[in-house]
Structure 1
């Protein structure tokens, strides 16, 4: 679907476009001004996207997030990426959600299912050590 939007075959409300990225309004917005930024070159997810495309998408997301916060008077912004069906990815073309956040909940329906609670220090330490080794 997102390849069709980038190609102009599927209608969208375009917000920004450059040689590498395309930003457009989300048709199922979590808040006023919710939009998506995608690479023009197809990549399935975070694991597949080339580093240069990821950097370009992130920079475009930052640029449109700043504009959205100014233009809509947002009190904050979430950037969200879901990688894999079990992580809520529903469209398998890499994308970043840019979600303006508002104190005024009439503009903002997003609630997260995760409520942070302190973790087990031993588990955190063990997993961090494993990951540090995997990266070296």
Structure 2
């Protein structure tokens, strides 16, 4: 099924979680550091869930949506559900997860670029976020040159 067959409607929490789930395995591998960090973010980010939302259920739905509709269509739907004042925060959370292993590969860099564009994050702000998170996560590994 292509992303154009069915319009996607997501809640704010589903949209943020879907972006976070999508970014954790963007390089084709879900590393232990990334999975652990995803769990940490989901358990500590109350503004995403509010009350009464089960993270495991939202995560499973996110994986299903990405598989069924493809990442580009899902990202477009996610952006529609996330208020603009949370775009930079969502970008920072996703970037932090991508960089949890201290590395930035080609696929990960492409995802960050796509997410920046989709969320309409200013280039200077995006560079600052990436630079700070590379420094923060450097202890986990050595960033690619």
What is the TM-score of this pair, normalised by structure 1? 0.29
More strand as a share of residues: 1
* Structure with higher RCO (Cα < 8 A, 6+ apart): 2
TM-score normalised per structure 2: 0.28
Larger helix percent? 2
